[in-house]
Amino acid sequence: MQPLSHTHTNRFPPHFFGLALVLLVSLASPTNSCMEQEKASLLQLLAGLSRDGGLKTSWRSDTDCCTWEGITCSPNRTVTGVLLPSRGLEGSISPCLGNLTGLLRLNLSRNSLSGGLPLELVSSRSLTVLDVSFNRLTGGLHEIPPSTPTRPLRVLNISSNLFTGKFPSTIWEVTKSLVALNASTNSFTGQIPTTPCVSAPSFAVLELSFNQFSGNIPREISNCTMLKLLIAGYNNLSGILPDELFNITSLEHLSLPNNWLEGAIDGISKLKNLVTLDLWGNELSGNIPKSIGDLKRLEELYLGHNNMSEQLPAALSKSHNN
């Protein structure tokens, strides 16, 4: 078992986002042609880039866009994937991508894209995976009209950008298939969003670390009955850990370091599936409960820099992963 205190880094397993991706069906492989309307929408994306990472060599209007670099198509000549991570792209994301009615997966991560995230993508009728992480996108997330029909989005990764403001609740109300949300390393404010817990019964991954979220951990978080990973460290969260949090017995990774949380953690032993528990750098008090030794799957435990007793319960030695 790892020590109670440490020089803290974001230590959660790199595969955590894969918890959601493994639930997705395989995407179709490329074929030989695409529709002219789809080609025009892709060329609009190219036109909005100040640096295209060499895409102009492949993305030519006189060629079939199903053969273009980073593009996948279905057998019926529909573009299903725009996959351009780590291409050195600069410029804005064209809202015309929302015209790709068969687009299932959009990955523009690890580039230098700027401007906002078009509403046409978040409210797409077809997208299941939207990944624009590690860019320079700014502004807030748009509200979606409440009358919008349910959208199929399952994975949303907007981490490591420059987004600000509060989460618009209507986004989550129309994404009832949402499995994973990663919004870490931005400047979002307000309370932790809990709407996905109500609207998306399969919601499993919530990553909100390195933002400016404040207030208490909402009791409504218990509505996330399938949640496996909750990460919200390095925010301004305060108050006690609500009893409702300890009712999410599906939790495997709970990480809330460097906040202002207080009180005791007596209910932690209810989380029988915990593999990682990180509450480092808060204002928690009381003794480390003896029942923590009942967490048989626990591999990593970080409780340092709190006001708790430094004495480890002898029962902790019962852990199979010591």
Question: What CATH number is given for 32-178 in this structure?
Answer: 3.80.10.10
pLDDT given for residue 317 in this prediction: 53
Spell out the residues 6+ positions from residue 25 whose beta carbon is closer than 8 angstroms to its own: none
DSSP state of 35: -
Q: Where are the domains of the chain?
A: 1-23+196-322, 32-178
Q: What pLDDT shows up at residue 32? A: 53
Alpha helices (H) along the chain:
18-21, 36-47, 55-58, 119-122, 169-173, 195-199
Give CA–CA dist 159/135, Å, rounded: 8
Q: Are 60 and 21 in contact (CB under 8 A)?
A: no
Predicted pLDDT at 11? 53
Half-sphere exposure of 58 (CA within 13 A, CB side): 13
**Hey, do 1-23+196-322 and 32-178 end up sharing a CATH topology, with the first three levels equal?**
yes
Chain center to CA of 92: 22
pTM surpassing 0.85?
yes
Per DSSP, the three-state class of 124 is coil
Note the pLDDT of residue 161.
Answer: 98
Residue 97, CB-side half-sphere exposure with 13 Å CA sphere: 28
pLDDT number for residue 8 = 52
Please say whether the beta carbons of 1 and 301 come within 8 A: yes
**In whole angstroms, what separates CA 23 from the centre of its chain?**
15
Which CATH code is given to the segment(s) 1-23+196-322? 3.80.10.10
Say how far apart CA 180 and CA 81 lie, in whole Å: 19
Q: What is the pLDDT along the chain (322 residues), one digit of tens a residue?
A: 555 545 555 555 555 455 444 444 333 343 457 899 999 999 999 999 999 999 999 999 999 999 999 999 999 989 999 999 999 999 999 999 999 999 999 999 999 999 999 999 999 999 999 999 999 999 999 888 878 898 999 999 999 999 999 988 777 778 889 999 999 999 999 999 877 787 788 999 999 999 999 999 999 888 899 999 999 999 999 999 999 999 999 999 999 999 999 999 999 999 999 999 999 999 999 988 888 989 999 999 999 999 998 667 666 655 544 4
Half-sphere exposure for 68 (CA within 13 Å, toward CB): 29
